[in-house]
Amino acid sequence: MVKKKKNTEKETVDIEIPEKMDTPQVEEQSQINSDELDDLKNQLLRALADSENNRRRFEKEKEDLSAYVISNFAKEMLAVLDNLNRALEVSDKINIEDKNVDNNTKNFIEGVKLTEKQLNSIFEKFKIIKIDTLDQRFDPNIHQAMFEIENDEVEEGTILQVVQEGFKIEDRLLRPALVGVSKKVTKKEENTEQNQENSGDK
């Protein structure tokens, strides 16, 4: 303990100054502050993680909503494409080089072809693609079987006829393809065919 004298006008007073202050209380306060700081850090990290999760969830919901809107619109436009394709099937039977075909008919056919081309270009822009179907293996996830076609020349379950084209938007099914699928010829029908052949030989 160090003693110092303090001079005043009236008297001299001895003041005791401790050489070393007791620190347990300071250390305890420091420890409390450190624990509180760690707790605040953890709270901040949790808040940041929650914020990031909310942002990702929002982006996912936004993408899903956008895809849903586009899908509904695309489904409606597929009906338009189907009608255009039917018109083109008819127009393909018409020889526009024929002198008997008038200019109005020629212009109409060209207009249908141009419209179909533009519509396919729009589909491609929005990643709406036609499902590869003919001669492929039947896949219930993207195909819908309408009837069976007996055929022993191909593997059973092969798609031999497409009634209506199927489409996907990116990886999401937009419309299944309506198809006819091959199946093996039954023995009864094989015997019938063989009997008919034998009858023809006689």
Check which CATH number belongs to the domain holding 140 and give it.
Answer: 2.30.22.10
Same domain flag for 95 and 32? yes
Task: Provide mean pLDDT across the span 42-46.
Answer: 79
Same domain flag for 134 and 110? no
Closest CA to 146 of 169, 133, 163, 129: 163
Polymer length in residues for the chain: 202
With respect to residue 36, please indicate whether it lies within any of the assigned structural domains. Answer: yes
Same domain flag for 101 and 136? no
- Position 41 scores a pLDDT of 79
- Looking at residue 27, its amino acid is E
- Position 178 scores a pLDDT of 92
Same domain flag for 119 and 29? yes
- Position 129 scores a pLDDT of 86
Same domain flag for 116 and 138? no
Confidence of residue 111 (pLDDT cuts 50, 70, 90): confident
Q: Pick the last residue of a domain from 126, 152, 174.
A: 126
Q: What residues make up the domain containing 166?
A: 130-195
Q: For the whole model, what pTM was predicted?
A: 0.56
Which range, of 14-28, 65-79, 167-181, averages the lowest pLDDT? 14-28
Q: Pick the last residue of a domain from 97, 126, 155.
A: 126
Task: Provide mean pLDDT across the span 14-27.
Answer: 52
Question: What's the number of domains the chain is made of?
Answer: 2
With respect to residue 201, please indicate whether it lies within any of the assigned structural domains. Answer: no
Same domain flag for 122 and 135? no
Cβ 128 vs Cβ 169: under 8 Å? yes
With respect to residue 4, please indicate whether it lies within any of the assigned structural domains. Answer: no
Same domain flag for 99 and 134? no
- Position 172 scores a pLDDT of 83
Cβ 145 vs Cβ 122: under 8 Å? no
Task: Provide mean pLDDT across the span 130-137.
Answer: 88
Same domain flag for 73 and 30? yes
Same domain flag for 78 and 161? no
Which range, of 33-47, 115-129, 160-174, averages the lowest pLDDT? 33-47
Task: Provide mean pLDDT across the span 39-55.
Answer: 78
Q: Is 22 helix (H, G, I), strand (E, B) or coil?
A: coil
Same domain flag for 120 and 134? no
Confidence of residue 65 (pLDDT cuts 50, 70, 90): low
With respect to residue 12, please indicate whether it lies within any of the assigned structural domains. Answer: no
Confidence of residue 188 (pLDDT cuts 50, 70, 90): low
Same domain flag for 118 and 157? no
> Comparing 64 with 75, which gets the higher pLDDT?
75
- Name residue 73's beta-bridge partners: none
